[in-house]
Amino acid sequence: MKWIYEFSEGSREQRELLGGKGANVAEMTRVLGADRVPGGFTITTEACVAYMEAGRSAPDGLNDQVDEALAALEHRAAKRLGDAGDPLLVSVRSGARVSMPGMLDTVLNLGLNDESVAGLARHTGDGRFAWDAYRRFVQMFGNVVHGIAAADFESELREARERAVVEADTELGAAALRELTESFKRLFEERTGDPFPSEPRRQLEQAISAVFDSWDTERAVAYRRINGIPDNWGTAVNVQQMVFGNRGESSGSGVAFSRDERTGAPTPSGDFLANAQGEDVVAGTRNPEDLDALAERLPEAHRQLLDDLATLERHYGDMQDVEFTIEEGRLFLLQTRSAKRPAQAAVRFARDAVAEGLLTREAALMTIDVDSLDALLHPVFDPEFEYEPLTTGVAASPGAARGAIVLSAAEAVRRAADGDDVILVRRFTEAEDVAGFYAARGILTAEGGKASHAALVARGMGRPCVAGASELTIDEGAGIVRVRETELAAGEEIMIEGSTGAVTLDEVPLVEPEIGEAFGEILRWSDELRRLGVRANADRAEDAARARALGAEGIGLCRTEHMFFGPDRAELVRAMFVAAERWRRSELAARTDGDAVRAGLDRARADYRASLERLGELQRADFVAILHEMRGLPVTVRLLDPPLHEFLPLEHFESELRALGRSGDPDRLRAAAEAIEIVRDLEESNPMLGTRGIRLGILYPQIYEMQVRALIGAAAEATEAGDMPRVEIMLPLIAYETELRQVRARVVAAAEEAKREAGREVPYSVGTMIELPRACLVAGAIAEHADFLSFGTNDLTQTAIGLSRDDVEGSFIPTYLERRIIDRSPFETIDGPGVGELVRIGAERGRAANPTLKCGICGEHGGDPASIRLFASIGLDYVSCSPYRVPIGRVAAAQAAIS
């Protein structure tokens, strides 16, 4: 097995094998020449994987191949590793196939010992440089390879400065550095029980193992979780000849970008430290200068650097991030990679690269990290401002907000009506809190995750949300929030950052979103290139207007139940369901029990119809407003879906009965007691799989008929106003084709009656939401009665995998991620082999039975770039996501079409 490639053998196409750094160093050697890039070799990612699988033991043949590659490097350099006369020194660096900045380990100056340091001093004529290199090596080797705390070395270094009465490390002389190196070696032996290894080959073997081991450090694992990097990729190891930026004032090290890394402007930028090695630049212990200072100090090296940056950017077709060292006036480039940059820089570069002829539109779009675009759509904490975090939670919905703490939705509504900015703080949220979401600037919960109720609703409304801040203790009765020893009263102000999960008491400046011309052009290109439609999930006219402004091509999911949860409607909805159940029970009893029961039936029917009529008026007004905002575009309206317990909380009715008990009104007491009996009878042990969706439409068909009449009446009104409505009626939670056939017939009858009453022709279609595995498998039979299928992947994930979305994010999902059972939460990115395959089966079988069938997605996955790629490959017609994810969906869909 070939475990090692010399830099001259590799290329950028071998990223999976050589890692990003190894592949790019090899490519840079080919482009710029060996004179510019110090020589070396790469140990492959396959070697790392084999090392891990062997229980952290070198795979067969690796050590022999290291010896051969080292001998070849020594031959080219005309030096030997650790030679006492003129030693070859090397760096040992990590290199995963994707950049993981700061997550993996590096060792510099390897090969020094008590003999070779003297040879280095003699050869360079600079004892201070030699001993500075040696102390750095002992320090890094002890920290990286043997886990000795960096603070312990820093303490020794601070004492050395105090003894020498100097402020900076660079002011320490050769004698002081020699004494410091001996102190470091004594510290090493105290902490490890062994003397510092002096044999260079042993040093190299330990360093290689340490870099392999760094793949599994806590910080690296956490970074992979956040960025969706598989655990089985491993890291390569790059062994490279050292060049030295700490050889005096004509030397230095730095990092340079081919363009401004913050804005994307076509001006190279970066940091430079004179008389320093690379770790000094990234450690932040000295203040660097910018590249203009390099132009003044070493103009020829600066000119060469700018030329090389331009060459590499043209060659790679992307903005480059380069590490460089200047040794006594001679420039060396140590690595290059595509630059990490914020969203505004990404879109500026893409737009400019096309204008400059550097890239095609397709290639430019593929340079954009789509997830980063969220920052262009929401205010965020100023990244330059330092603040003290109070606690952190899950970054559940992007954006930042400041406001007074409120502990209930009702209080949020009241204070917002008075003009106050508020943050709704809850242990967890429920459907009845929706009015508080509308009123609040942001939401903070102690429980839940990215797929919790709070997160889903917040993203849909464009509200910042931090969920699962487990250090929060909320005492709603006392009006107190506690975070460890800190106690906050309701009304005190906090700030949350939903893009990072941060919570703070500090007043952090906010950076407002900027879409700008560059992003607008990127979106126009995306629309021209993508094949997948992008709609929005929107339940209010304001959401619809925002979605349309952000480029939505319609509404893929309008959840009518969210219209029921407003502060002026909750009581009416509760009364409607109680009346509906009274009427249903009275109707059953009247078949056998005679006139007395029929009198009760008449009263129940009258109450039920009155509730339906009032709700119908409210829904019609809602629909008119939404259809107006989306004029000419399709609007998919899902009829009532949630389980009954969300509308009929037992504690509300019990509280009402207690309050009535003091009034002594016997009729009202009797009605309240009967309502409690009904609610208790309707309680279910697993309501999410109980009486909801189409089952509500079968048990209480008048509710669906009311909604359809309201919708068609609104569409007729919109037609009269010239809004050209395109209405799609969606029936949720279908399991059996017979359910759809029966309920569709009643829906069509109600729609036709409403059209006749309006005296206008209103085009509409009727389809269904696919949320159950059985529905995917029998999609062909279902499609015979449907004009469209919309896959509700939130619930489909729950029912296919057997997960409760609101519970698992804070319970076992983190453990599953930690133990590598899964790479990503299936509520963030769709489970391709399982849930994704069900979507594929459903779409294929549905279209086979009904070739004109439209198929789309309306779960949160519709705004996830990785999931969008899968949906595009299946050939769906559209995805639907929260309004603020629409631009991201547009670019992701274009990238899917390109790739």
The alpha carbon dihedral of 144, 148, 152, 158 has a sign of negative
DSSP E strands in 198-317: the ranges are 235-241, 252-257, 269-274, 289-290
Tokens of 368: 């954009």
Q: Measured between alpha carbons, how far is 400 from 745 in angstroms, rounded to an integer?
A: 47
Tokens of 324: 């460089």
Angle between helices 174-192 and 127-140 (to 10 degrees): 20
Collapse the DSSP code of 19 into the 3-class scheme (helix H, G, I; strand E, B; otherwise coil) and give the result: helix
Collapse the DSSP code of 141 into the 3-class scheme (helix H, G, I; strand E, B; otherwise coil) and give the result: helix
Q: Measured between alpha carbons, how far is 823 from 813 in angstroms, rounded to an integer?
A: 10
Check: CB of residue 183 under 8 Å from CB of residue 163.
no
- Positions marked active-site: 453, 858
CA 897 → CA 324, 366, 526, 534, 844, distances in Å? 37, 11, 9, 13, 20
Torsion of CA 135, 136, 142, 148, to 10 degrees: 100
Check: CB of residue 340 under 8 Å from CB of residue 426.
no
The residue behind tokens 């056939």 is: 741
Q: Measured between alpha carbons, how far is 88 from 80 in angstroms, rounded to an integer?
A: 5
Which alpha helices (H) appear in 54-144, and where do they start and end? 62-77, 114-124, 127-140
Tokens of 719: 């037609």
- For the chain, give the number of residues: 899
Tokens of 824: 């990503």
Strand partners for 720: none
287 residue type, one letter: N
Contacts of 156 (CB under 8 A, 6+ apart): 180, 183, 184, 187
Q: Measured between alpha carbons, how far is 572 from 619 in angstroms, rounded to an integer?
A: 12
- CA 14 to mean position of chain CA atoms: 28
Tell me which residue of 589, 609, 568, 585 sits closest to 674, measured CA to CA: 585
Contacts of 415 (CB under 8 A, 6+ apart): 404, 406, 422, 439
724 residue type, one letter: M
Tally DSSP H helices, then E strands, for the chain.
Answer: 35, 31
Q: Measured between alpha carbons, how far is 808 from 796 in angstroms, rounded to an integer?
A: 15
What distance separates the 2 farthest-apart alpha carbons in the chain?
115
The residue behind tokens 């990290």 is: 369
Q: Measured between alpha carbons, how far is 432 from 652 in angstroms, rounded to an integer?
A: 11
664 residue type, one letter: G
If one counts every other C-beta atom within 10 angstroms of the C-beta of residue 372, the result is: 17
Q: Measured between alpha carbons, how far is 429 from 452 in angstroms, rounded to an integer?
A: 9
DSSP single-letter state for residue 6? E
Concatenated DSSP letters for 26-70? HHHHHHH-TTTS--EEEE-HHHHHHHHHTTS-PPTTHHHHHHHHH
Check: CB of residue 291 under 8 Å from CB of residue 256.
yes
Check: CB of residue 177 under 8 Å from CB of residue 117.
no
Q: Measured between alpha carbons, how far is 41 from 69 in angstroms, rounded to an integer?
A: 7
Concatenated DSSP letters for 578-594? HHHHHHHHHHHHHHHH-
